[in-house]
Amino acid sequence: MRFLGISIFLILFTFAFANEDFNTHRPLIVEFFENSEPHLKRTLHLECTSWRFAVEANNLSPWKIIPQECADYVRQYITGGAYKMEIDRVSTEAGAFAESMKLGEDGKDVWIFDVDETLLSNLPYYSQHGYGLEVFDSVEFDKWVEKGEAPAIGSSLKLYQDVMRLGFKVFLLTGRSERHRIVTVENLMNAGFQDWDKLILRGSEDHGKSATIYKSEKRNEMVEEGLRIVGNSGDQWSDLLGSSASIRSFKLPNPMYYIP
Amino acid sequence: MRFLGISIFLILFTFAFANEDFNTHRPLIVEFFENSEPHLKRTLHLECTSWRFAVEANNLSPWKIIPQECADYVRQYITGGAYKMEIDRVSTEAGAFAESMKLGEDGKDVWIFDVDETLLSNLPYYSQHGYGLEVFDSVEFDKWVEKGEAPAIGSSLKLYQDVMRLGFKVFLLTGRSERHRIVTVENLMNAGFQDWDKLILRGSEDHGKSATIYKSEKRNEMVEEGLRIVGNSGDQWSDLLGSSASIRSFKLPNPMYYIP
pLDDT in tens, B51-81: 999 999 999 999 999 999 999 999 999 999 9
- The whole-number pLDDT of residue B19 equals 35
Q: What is the pLDDT of residue A27?
A: 52
Residue B170 pLDDT greater than 60, yes or no: yes
Chain A's closest residue to B249, CA to CA, is: A59
**Chain A closest-CA separation from residue B53 CA (Å):** 7
* B190: pLDDT strictly greater than 90: yes
Mind listing the pLDDT tens digit for each residue in B133-152?
999 999 999 999 999 999 99
Q: What pLDDT is recorded for position B27?
A: 52
Higher confidence at residue A225 or residue B33? A225
**Which residues of chain A have a CB within 8 Å of the CB of B88?**
14
Question: pLDDT at residue B29 above 90?
Answer: no
**A253 by DSSP, 3-state: which?**
coil
Average pLDDT score over residue span B113-128: 98
- CATH architecture, domain A81-251: 3-Layer(aba) Sandwich (3.40)
From A104, A102, A97, A42, select the one nearest A73 (Cα to Cα): A42
Burial of A165 from C-beta contacts in 10 A (0-12 / 13-18 / 19+): exposed
Of 3.20.20.190, 3.40.50.1000, 3.40.50.300, 3.90.1150.10, the CATH number of B80-251 is 3.40.50.1000
Distance from CA of B81 to the nearest CA of A (A): 8
Q: Nearest Cα to B92, choosing from A186, A61, A118?
A: A61
What Å distances lie between residue A86 and A14, A91, A184, A196, B252, CA to CA? 29, 9, 25, 25, 20
Residue B38 is predicted with a pLDDT of: 85
Q: What residues in chain A have per-residue pLDDT under 50?
A: 1-26, 29-33
Question: pLDDT tens for residues B92-101?
Answer: 999 999 999 9
The pLDDT, as a whole number, for residue A158 is 98
CATH 3.40.50.1000 residue ranges for chain A:
81-251
B196 — pLDDT class (breaks 50, 70, 90): very high
Write out chain A residues lying below 8 Å of B237, CB-based.
none
Name the pLDDT band for B39 (thresholds 50, 70, 90). Answer: confident
Q: In what order do the strands lie in the sheet with B109-113?
A: B198-202, B169-177, B109-113, B228-234, B248-251
What is the pLDDT confidence band of residue B37, given thresholds at 50, 70 and 90? Answer: confident
Confidence grade of residue B3 (pLDDT, cut at 50, 70, 90) = very low
Q: Is the pLDDT assigned to residue B9 strictly greater than 90? A: no
The region of weakest confidence among B3-7, B64-68, B185-189, B249-253 is B3-7
Inter-chain touch B82–A22, beta carbons under 8 Å:
no
What is the pLDDT, as a whole number, of residue B43? 92
Residues of chain B with CATH 3.40.50.1000: 80-251
Interface contact A11, partner B, CB < 8 A: no
Q: In this model, does residue B20 exceed pLDDT 70?
A: no
Q: What is the DSSP letter of B168?
A: -
